[in-house]
Amino acid sequence: QTPHQGRSAPSTQPWRSPGEPQAPGSLPAPRWPVECEVIQEMIEHIEWVPPKPEPFCPPMGPEQALYTLGEEQGTVVYHSSPALQGSCFTRARVGGAPGPLSSPAAPLEGPQDTTLLFESRFESGNLQKAIKVGPYEYVLMLRPDLYTAKHTQWFYFRVQNTRREPLYRFTIANMAKPKSLYGQGLQPLLYSQRDAQSRGIGWRRVGTDVCYYHGSAGEPPMFRLSWTVRFPHDGDTCFFATCYPYTYSDLQRYLRALAADPARSRYCTVQALCRSLAGNTVYLLTITSPGSTTSKRVVVVSARVHPGESGSSWAMRGFLDFLMSAHADAQLLRRLFIFKVVPMLNPDGVVVGNSRCSLAGRDPNRAYGMALPGSFPSVWHLQAMVQRVLAEQEVVLYCDFHGHSRKNNVFMYGCDAGGDSTGTRLRQRVFPLMLSKNAPDKFSFSSCKFQVQKSKKGTGRVSMWRLGVSHSYTLEVAFSGSTLGGRSSHFSVEDLKSLGHLLCDTLLDFCDPAPAKLQQCLVEAGALLQQQMGREPGSGGSWSDVSPSELES
């Protein structure tokens, strides 16, 4: 049985938007480091929104963690580890490693063999090893980010040869972070190929007895995520993931549909910002209504500098969908602003299934300001583009979309260095405060932070602010969901996409020539800060001489 459908490789015809410069060549297949084996099948998933919100599950405490047999007592049933020549990236090609594929999965011994067949050698896949430690129990090891020995967080893999009756137990034994939303009710995602084909059901939250706890002693310490699950069908092909996957190929399909749409391609130009280390195109979209652009202000938006934060791509998708729609507010935004959008800053990391790094083996969001074009091309070229724009026009906002693994809800990080005037420091807080009013069931203003820590000086947010973008933010979207507005449930793809629309709404409020909303938010931000300082609003105490760290304590 072959429940997964193969898909032909993307066409390599040049694509162009009517009346616009030709886009960079075609949309070629992703390029992989030559050490990586890649299966031929094209993995695609349907989009689906559950009929009602999926509640958080009651998490188990570490003391309730069920005993797992040690890996050494088990049988390795899958092992795929790229033979990384040396410790750094050298070259890439379409399709990854040349030559025939190896067989990392142990073959089944007959129809009675209930061993699961694991696979993750596909775009964004990440599983290094699976060890069978009981009839329906497996210990899993994630592959660290390529050319590093750490950053294990994102997971995405396939299982076949499922059985419907038994309760399976999975334990990922090498998670890197000491704290996780899995300890607060977050559940893994499951996708059943059979349910997708016969019932139109896509990714859903599953798992009972979800537990996140300290695993092996040693350096660095490792943490374990375990859950139990029943599969919906016998003989199904299923996938597990941390968050809804959004691959480089998904982005390319979206851009191809965009180029083929005569209406949207009138006000959206797609160019190559640069190429990544592996030679994958980093796309730059310029969105504005046709006509003169000299008096327009600029908004710069980026996402997916961290490849394991796939929710940020769904928020970006919602942002682009709304901004290029026929909605009256979208038309107004295109008339008022020029949008410069980089939807995927780290395509190589997304392709190979990294959590945090690019193929340079380092976090690109700590490389702004000191990045060399040869090591971190997308970061260097984005910064250079913003510098060029600033020489001629005002950049009214920079927003970089991220995902967060330890805090619920959606929130922002801004820049308040403490030396600014009271008004400037209040204004920093207005955009996030407005967004919290537009998204009361998702966005938490109290979770926002504005301190510029030394360790964050290489981030996009701080770097753009230092260049002169006075409103520069990181938008953080929880891997889990929302605890606000009576909710205590996971984000769906629709929730994530709605954030893009809400960001557009907030931009209009923020730049509204009638000052009422802005004034109201300034007053409110001032009152909130005074309360935090333990002073009554209107008591005359000034906080303009207070340091940002005191404001946040």
Structure confidence by residue, pLDDT tens digits, 298-330? 999 999 999 999 999 999 999 999 999 999 999
Cα separation, 414 vs 461, in Å, equals 7
- 163, 418, 425, 535, 537 from 545: Cα distances, Å: 65, 8, 11, 14, 16
Omega before 220 within 30 of 0, i.e. cis: yes
For residue 375, pLDDT over 70 is answered with: yes
Q: How far is CA 37 from CA 2, 42, 270, in A?
A: 21, 14, 31
pLDDT tens-digit readout, 204-240: 999 999 999 988 777 788 999 999 999 999 999 999 9
* Contacts with 355 (C-beta within 8 Å, 6 or more apart), sequence order: 126, 145, 151, 152, 153, 154, 176, 306, 307, 308
Q: State residue 420's pLDDT score.
A: 67
CA dihedral 61, 64, 66, 70 (to 10 degrees): 70
- DSSP-derived letter for residue 45 is -
Residue 377 pLDDT > 80, yes or no?
yes
pLDDT tens figures, 240-289: 999 999 999 999 999 999 999 999 999 999 999 999 999 999 999 999 99
Identify which has the larger pLDDT, 531 or 525: 525
What 3-state class would DSSP assign to 268? strand
| pLDDT for 4 beyond 50 | no
Taken in order of first residue, the domains within the chain and their CATH numbers are 37-241 (2.60.40.3120), 248-532 (3.40.630.10)
Q: Which residue has the higher pLDDT, 81 or 510?
A: 510
- The residues assigned a catalytic role are 476
Smallest CA-to-CA distance from 43 within 490, 351, 258 is with: 351
Q: Per residue in 113-128, is it b (16+ CB within 10 Å) or e — as a string?
A: eebbbbbbbbbbbbbb
Q: What integer pLDDT is reported at residue 175 of this predicted model?
A: 94
Mean pLDDT score of the chain: 88
Classified as helix, coil or strand, 426 is helix
Rounded CA separation 196/201 (Å): 5
